[in-house]
Amino acid sequence: MPETITTLNPANEEIIKLYDTMSDAQLLDRLDAAHHRFQTWRHTSLQERQDHLLAIADGLDRKQDEYAHLITNEMGKPLSQSKAEISKCAAVCRYYANHSGDVLAESTKALDDSTIASTYTRPLGVILSIMPWNFPFWQVMRFVAPNLMTGNVCMLKHAPNVTGCALALESLMKEVGLPQDCFSVILADHKQVGQVLMDYRVRGVTLTGSDRAGKAIASQAGEALKKSVLELGGSDPYIVLDDADLNLAVETCVASRLINSGQTCISAKRFIVTKSVAGEFTERVIQAMSRKSYGNPLDDVDLGPLAREDLRDKVHSQVLQSIDQGAKLALNGQIPEGTGFYYPPTVLTSVSSGMPAFDDEIFGPVASVIEAQDEAQAVAIANQSRYGLGAAIFSKDIERAEYLAAHEIEAGSCAINDFVRSHPAATFGGIKDSGYGRELGSQGLLEFANIKTVTKQS
């Protein structure tokens, strides 16, 4: 019997729509169709793939308002941020349409006086993507755009609460003329996802989600010897040094922490501040966070609700556990009365190792302030984490900050006097429990590719 998927508006707790998961037979049909499509898609020219990506970008632009409202209704993101997400999706399509040729081009070199080696970049086949709800269009398109250009076909298993977003993307692909089954959506339960992953027609898998989900998918992919890319959680440290511009540091840290109502893997999580500026910085953070508004995400607010009730409850539990273990509540930290899964901007101080606010990822609008004696201790605290996704350093000594970012901070991305963000042209990914593999940039074209060497005698 199929399971029922329910999409729920987190702002008013009203049901949006019900869907049924697919039967095993329907999933096999989807796999078979995708596999057969690959046999023709892999032979298409780069120009043809480019034309399709540009058509997708234009379609996203045309339907920006419709898709933004869908995002906001399904997962609660403020509408202005949902619109920005759609614009970013169009941008990643145009980036790969215009910047893939050189990366995918054949290269040739002489190995010796009589042997020439040519390198070809060839697609692998059907790639399964398992995507989260927090950026329901962007997370998909940053995978789809480079992989379509490489010549792969893409299959999406999306988070259940954004099923409408998944199906809207599938509909768009058909509407703009992308060949049938180059992109397909499956509505499947956990057991069925495992079966799809293990099917011989699936040649790779990418997942964005929790470290627990990543370990499960990595185990299955490893058993089947299939390439996997994992972008998992983060407890990103933002280091504020003695010579930082405090106005800039406060504004940037707060903005990063509250993007998407705090539900962002690469947002600032731990504010690590050297002792000489800790008091002033903390007070300014509390003031800045207290001025942020939350409410109906269709209105002009800074924060909407969290995406699900259980996610809001987990955030609150992590806050309470941290307080029980010695953290001090400096701002808010209570579940508001009324309808909707809201959580106010919250600040914890006196945070230390062993607390959820230090050790874990709090996926909500909670800032954890940690005092360090000096630069060396600040870096040590930053690296005292099982995660390694993003980080930032605030200092007027740019040369010193760049050295720390490049050589000392254990993270896949590090910003200086700014917050970490993904960009189509910049390679993105994490280390440690934040995953492995890279997305975006030129590497995004190559993760699911066969880099083939052909030698011949001259």
CATH number at 237-416: 3.40.309.10
**Residues 227-272: tens digit of each pLDDT:** 999 999 999 999 999 999 999 999 999 999 999 999 999 999 999 9
pLDDT at 458: 84
356 CB-near residues (< 8 Å, 6+ apart): 318, 319, 321, 322, 362
Token couple for 19: 């869907």
pLDDT at 136: 98
Closest CA to 368 of 334, 317, 424, 328: 328
pLDDT < 70 positions in the chain: none
Q: What are the strands, taking DSSP E only, across 101-191?
A: 107-110, 115-123, 126-131, 153-158, 183-185
What separation in angstroms does the CA of 374 have from each of 38, 126, 283, 371?
Answer: 56, 50, 19, 9
36, 181 contact by CB (below 8 A): yes
The burial class, CB within 10 Å (0-12 / 13-18 / 19+), for 254 is buried
Does the active-site annotation cover 165? no
Q: Check for a shared fold between 4-232+432-457 and 237-416.
A: no
Does the active-site annotation cover 182? no
The CATH class for the domain spanning 4-232+432-457 reads alpha beta
pLDDT at 270: 98
Q: Is the pTM of this model over 0.95?
A: yes
Question: Which 3 state secondary structure label does DSSP give 126?
Answer: strand
Catalytic residue among 231, 361, 375, 447: 231
Domains of the chain, by residue range, sit at: 4-232+432-457, 237-416
Work out the percent of the chain whose per-residue pLDDT is above 70. Answer: 100
349, 282 contact by CB (below 8 A): yes
Catalytic residue among 89, 265, 361, 414: 265
pLDDT at 245: 98
